[in-house]
Amino acid sequence: MTVQEIVTRVRAAIDELMENDSDFLRESTDEMNLTRVIVDKIGYALQHIIENAPLDKLDDSVFEVYSAAELASNFSIDTDLIGHVKLPTDLLRIIEARLSSWSHFPIPESDTSQVYLMQQDTYARGSWDRPVNILTYNGKQRMLEMYCARTVQDTLNFVFIRKPAASSYSADNLSATVNCPAGLQASLIYQVAGLSMVAFREDVAASLFAIAARYLDPDEGKSE
């Protein structure tokens, strides 16, 4: 999907919600300024959508893994069999972080949680058959601590998504490609539209955000 396609679809989404006030935007801003407003919101919207999307709506187009060289410099297992992973500074979301002896990927816990305190006890901490992942931050570097490996020969399977740069897209390059999984494109359009409308009509923006949320996860709120 190109930036131009997003701009066209966002305009259509806004027009659809403002059919009784179709001249509002044209009176509020000129065509080029509106395009710039829309393009400026793409990076922010894309980050929000990918960060909150159900896992089954994501795909390999946004997944990354560490190269062999990156693994060599960012992953280690200490003498207590605790795995240590230096996380990318632009990390948005961890899809999987699992040692080769583990049967599953445990969702990472915070270093402020009770689970983290338990890891300080040798007898209570996680192990290869009941693993625990903990996200930590020392003020300089975000880390993932993995409790624990079966042996120091365990390898790491680490799949993640980097944060899209908010300034990645420009109204001067409308042919640029926006890397968004197919299942999230409709949600992206309405999220961009909502962000674009905040400065003009908050009521319309709220409606557009609600549509984006429904496209993102149709099951959300069904049981409420």
Q: What is the rounded average pLDDT of the residues 24-50?
A: 81
Residue 141 has pLDDT above 60, yes or no: yes
The pTM of the whole model exceeds 0.85: no
Confidence of residue 165 (pLDDT cuts 50, 70, 90): confident
pLDDT value, residue 212: 97
- Sequence-ordered strand ranges (E) for 82-210: 83-86, 91-99, 109-110, 132-137, 142-147, 156-162
Confidence band for 25, pLDDT divided at 50, 70 and 90: low
For residues 178 and 42, the answer to whether their CB atoms sit within 8 Å is yes
Residue for token digits 């968004």?
180
The closest alpha carbon to 92, from 134, 138, 44, belongs to: 44
Greater model confidence, 140 or 187: 187
Q: Does 20 score more than 70 pLDDT?
A: no
Task: Report the chain's mean pLDDT, rounded to a whole number.
Answer: 90
Residues 6+ apart with CB under 8 A from 165: 43, 90
Q: Are 184 and 50 in contact (CB under 8 A)?
A: yes
pLDDT at 224 over 50: no
On the question of pLDDT at 166 being above 50, the answer is yes
Relative to beta strand 156-162, strand 142-147 is unpaired
Rounded to 10°, the helix 202-216/31-52 angle is 40
Q: Identify the weakest region by mean pLDDT among 2-11, 14-23, 66-75, 198-207.
A: 14-23
Question: Residue 99 — very low, low, confident or very high, per pLDDT cuts 50/70/90?
Answer: very high
